[in-house]
Amino acid sequence: MNNILETEQYLTGQLAPEDRLAYEARLIIDSDLKAQTHWQEHTYQVVRAYGRMQLRNNLEQLHEQLMTEPQHKSFRNKIRNIFNL
């Protein structure tokens, strides 16, 4: 568990410079730590991508509602006036 926290701090730039240097030295000699760091970074990338996908889906749904449902006609007109559409 301690390695996970330290790896997180390394990946997010939260380690002090001397601790970062020591961690990078350990990455060179410890293949298990190197693999763990790789997979933890990959996991963070997947989580961020999923979050962006969810946000995009939510925004698309909101756009669809605001631009098509009759009760939002006033809002649509204001937006069209702003952008001269």
Please say if the pLDDT value at position 13 is more than 70: yes
Amino acid at 28: I
* Average pLDDT for the chain: 93
Residue 1: pLDDT over 80: no
1, exposed or middle or buried, with CB in 10 Å at 0-12, 13-18, 19+?
exposed
- pLDDT of 2 reads 80
Is the pTM higher than 0.75? The answer reads no
Query: Mean pLDDT, to the nearest integer, of 26-40?
Result: 97
Higher pLDDT, 29 or 73: 29
